[in-house]
A and B are shown apart, each in its own frame.
Chain A
Amino acid sequence: MIEIKNLHKSYKMGSNSLHVLKGIDFSVAEGELVAIMGSSGSGKSTLLNILGMLDTADSGDYVLDGVPIENLNETKAAQYRNKFLGFIFQSFNLINYKSAMENVALPLYYQKVNRKERQEKALNYLERVGLKQWATHLPSELSGGQKQRVAIARAMAAEPKVLLADEPTGALDSKTSYEVMDLIQKINDDGNTILVVTHEEDIAEMCKRIVHLKDGVIVEDKKVEQVRASAYV
């Protein structure tokens, strides 16, 4: 699903150049649930940005679902993001004046799906995250865990190839974190490919594979025995 070869990225800081990614080789197969771990400065955020087409690499190849991701202009990147990727953010990033359903429907809006179909799909995904009865509520009326579930529904609404979760439990307490991880695991069980960036060991343990980054290189890449979050809920 994801093929990365010899990825390099450096940032210019004045006269110095900060080499953040120093040759990453990495691939993810369909249906995997991968945790990307590392301390701050390890390059995991940069890697996620490049995977999410929010940033471009200096060199190296990135192939997503057989499509080489290169020479992207803004419009094309937007199209690819919409088609291939679903984002789950640490701070949910729901649009505060739109109801839960409208938030979920937003990626579909950018796919030019008509309004009625959009609402149907959005409701369907809200049901899958267990929030159908909250469809008309604004984000301000939802708890943190509920917000993240709405965000997950939104990420899935466009039926992307890969879900990218950036510290999805970073703003949640541990009980809610497990609930969210439980949901992510269930989505993964349905065959969706998910990448989770986290620095929490217990969250990483709930994935099927852990990739450790340190100083811009992968230091460890191991498959793990998945800890089911449902055991803690």
Chain B
Amino acid sequence: MFDRDIWQEIFHSIRNNKLRTFLTGFSVGWGIFILVMLLGSVNGMQNGFTKQFNDDATNSIFIRPGTTSKAYAGFEKDRRIQLKNDDVAYIKKSFPNDHEFISGRLYKNTSARYRSETGTYNVQAVHPDFQAIEKTIVTKGRYINENDFRAGAKVAVIGRKVAEDLFDKEEAIGKFVEFNNLPFRVIGVFIDEGDDNAERNIYAPLTTYQKIYGNTDEINQIALTYNANYDLTKALEFSRRLETILKRRHQVAPEDQSGIRIFNYAEAFSDISTFTGGLSFMSVVVGILILIAGIVGIGNIMVFIIKERTKEIGVRKALGAKPSQIIKLVLLESVFITAISGFVGLLFATGLLALIGPNLDFPAFSNPSVSFSTVVIATVILVGAGLIAGFIPALKAARVKPIVALSDK
């Protein structure tokens, strides 16, 4: 392996076939480059998806009412389903062990004013629990608490953007903002990394808003998180139970998909991991297919080199070279070309990913990169590829009869 003579011969034959070696090596390098880029891209998609979701707790479930698409229990179809505070209480009572946090959600638009600054924002009227569901990070002040909720206090937690718009550099906490001309005290400012739009939201106690808007008990949506210890099957089973029970409660046909919709992140996550898993698999297959073209190329060049050197191999055998020594020489050369060109491809791909990866941040594509294990696996594949590529030519070389060295008249 570390024999100077063997390496001298390898370098010699590479030197003599520069262009051919380069072109063939290029195909292997290209194969590895594509394989790594594909894997990196799939990784980027995975990162993108995860980032989309990490806004919210990954074990959250959202219940949204709709209009029925089927006549059921004496009701005509196209009936609008309305969720109420009762539903939240009912779920709380019925599934004490299945849920962690639960909150109703009421959406309103509001025009907000602080002194001369105005703006229109979304207000989400929620329970104190909602902070845990949405994973809201409060940087200043505090979130809505039970006291605010029970009292129906006119308090608000505003997004960073809202604070910037209305207060500029002024301290927002403790100030009073007018929402549709009603004064609300700002009790907290929150941020949402990677989502500026979310920072244009305002949270207020659900009770407060229900009082303001006609003393209603209606809500737009229920958000909850399931028991964090649940695995996918249990989580899905829980959301199915939720669905059944809520459909029964609101007289929606069990098979009606549009009356009440339940969105379970667990499901989405499992879909996504299946999807990206499939993509990874596909990219490995495609990458390896491309690599095979490279391997065949190297095999080809090796066969050619051996044909050219038939006589030399014959002489060596006449001088006492064993077939195993000839095989070793050919295999080593093949592995060497494959490994070097593959490493160049690997280096380019990881380099490119390292360079541009961190700068790529789109909703569904973020920081494509390859893990160390991918690099190790690619290296193993390369050496294996070199061995495969050299195998047939090596056997061919070993079969060269030393007699060719003599029959040269």
Q: Are A78 and B317 in contact (CB under 8 A)?
A: yes
Taken together as a complex, chains A and B put the C-alpha atoms of A102 and B29 apart, in Å, by 34
State which of B315, B317, B320, B408 has its C-beta within 8 Å of the C-beta of A158: B320
In this complex, how many residues of chain A approach chain B with their Cβ under 8 Å: the count is 33
Across the interface, which residues of A come within 8 angstroms of B405, CB to CB?
A: 54, 87, 89, 93
The yes or no answer to A42 lying at the interface (CB within 8 A) is no
Taken together as a complex, chains A and B put the C-alpha atoms of A48 and B319 apart, in Å, by 15
Across the interface, which residues of B come within 8 angstroms of A115, CB to CB?
A: 4
Partner-contacting stretch, out of A105-113, A187-195, A209-217: A105-113
Docked complex: B67-98 residues within 8 A CB-CB of A: none
Q: Are A154 and B4 in contact (CB under 8 A)?
A: no
Docked complex: A75-125 residues within 8 A CB-CB of B: 75, 78-79, 81-83, 87, 89-91, 93, 95, 97-98, 102, 106-107, 109-111, 115
State which of A48, A52, A93, A106 has its C-beta within 8 Å of the C-beta of B311: A93
The yes or no answer to B402 lying at the interface (CB within 8 A) is yes
Q: Are A110 and B321 in contact (CB under 8 A)?
A: yes
A95-B312, A115-B4 known; A52 and B320 CB under 8 Å?
no
State which of B5, B323, B406 has its C-beta within 8 Å of the C-beta of A78: B323
Q: Are B406 and A166 in contact (CB under 8 A)?
A: yes
Docked complex: B1-37 residues within 8 A CB-CB of A: 4-5, 8-9, 12, 16
Across the interface, which residues of B come within 8 angstroms of A74, CB to CB?
A: 322-323, 398
What number of A-B contacts does a CB cutoff of 8 Å give?
78
The yes or no answer to A49 lying at the interface (CB within 8 A) is yes
Q: Which residue of A lies closest to B402 (CB)?
A: A54
State which of B12, B16, B311, B320 has its C-beta within 8 Å of the C-beta of A82: B320
- Which B residues contact A (CB, under 8 angstroms)? 4-5, 8-9, 12, 16, 311-312, 315-325, 398, 401-403, 405-409
Jot down 25 A-B pairs with beta carbons below 8 A, ordered by A: A49-B406, A52-B406, A74-B323, A75-B322, A78-B317, A78-B320, A78-B321, A81-B319, A81-B402, A82-B320, A87-B319, A87-B405, A87-B406, A89-B405, A89-B406, A90-B408, A93-B318, A93-B408, A95-B312, A95-B315, A95-B316, A98-B8, A106-B319, A158-B319, A158-B320
- Which A residues contact B (CB, under 8 angstroms)? 45, 48-49, 52, 54-55, 74-75, 78-79, 81-83, 87, 89-91, 93, 95, 97-98, 102, 106-107, 109-111, 115, 154, 158, 166-167, 170
Q: Assuming A54-B401, A87-B318, what are 12 further A-B pairs, CB within 8 angstroms?
A: A45-B406, A52-B318, A54-B403, A54-B405, A54-B406, A55-B403, A75-B322, A78-B322, A79-B320, A82-B320, A93-B318, A97-B9
